Homo-oligomer: A and B are copies of this chain.
Amino acid sequence: MNKLKLGIPKGSLENATIELFKKSGWKIQVSSRNYFPDIDDNEITCTLVRAQEMSRYVENGTLDLGLTGKDWIMENGSDVVVVSDLVYSKVSTRPARWVLVVKENSPINKLEDLKGKKISTELVSFTKKYFAERNIPVEVEFSWGATEAKVVEELVDAIVEVTETGSTIRANGLRIVCELMQSNTQLIANKNSWKDSWKREKIEQITLLLKGALQADGMVGLKMNVPADKLQSVIALLPSLNAPTVSNLYHKDWFSLEIVISEARVRELIPLLQKSGAEGIIEYSLNKVI
């Protein structure tokens, strides 16, 4: 029987990934006694893999498909198929940024000032390559975590560290010199698996549903009743990309109008709809939008 070997990222992405699969239609259960999470689909086997190492195992075929960060794919220099970018919720979360960080009162103000200096980071290969391409000789050493402490304690001159808002960095009395890379989660496949027709179809099913669930995350359903003579002006208010579903009501001079819309636009739209004559406006949540 055909099986697709799927890698789930262990650690910080783990719960979000399992939650996303649940919304997409697959129940994954991780037990503390077992390294292979259960999944309610006989065509898939799951494995928990560190995000840092995922692309290695997808590249060498140990896994057919996996989710991990673009940063670690680049660090590993892995030759894989990027099936899809999965931006977990467009609105609220910002992409992870790898930044060059120094002490607030450091004389370092631009990349060139790093010449001959010592940098500590979890992303050694990427950082070395980044400075080599710019012809800036630096010493890069691997950091075992607690990276920020090293600049504070003046053990190194600078660090390359990941951040979302930069607030932790500032709170420790540090300063961002510049951004080196932005990263987000990607769905990656092994090159041979991608050529196998059964596996390709299975991967595309998973991709369709994952994207449907992600798309629903910032979307809601909006439903309202509109009298016939105001239908055109109400429709004119709606975002042009989303064709509304308009159905006749029993009382012929009224219509029921339903749209799927970004949750973020609702607060602007509702006052306008109300003024244009829509009544009985309700908003409800969506699990998937395809």
Q: Which residues of A contact B (CB under 8 A)?
A: 10, 24-27, 29, 31, 33-36, 40, 47-50, 52-53, 56-57, 62, 91-92, 141, 143-146, 149, 152-155, 167-168, 171-172, 204-205, 208-209, 212, 216, 220-221, 225, 231, 243, 245-251, 255-256, 258, 260, 263-264, 266-268, 270-271, 274, 280-290
Contacts and interface: CB of A to CB of B under 8 A. Distances in A.
A29 B164 CA distance: 14
A212 B47 CA distance: 36
A26 B267 contact: yes
Nearest to A62: B155
A209 B256 CA distance: 21
A280 B245 contact: yes
A35 B153 contact: yes
Given A25-B263, A246-B251, A281-B288, 13 more contacts: A35-B149, A40-B92, A50-B145, A205-B267, A205-B271, A246-B250, A247-B249, A256-B258, A266-B288, A282-B288, A283-B287, A284-B285, A285-B287
A155 B57 contact: yes
Nearest to A122: B144
A260 B282 contact: yes
Contact of A270 (B56, B168, B250, B290): B290
Contacts of A264: 25, 40
B284 A286 contact: yes
Contact of A53 (B34, B144, B209): B144
A274 B209 CA distance: 12
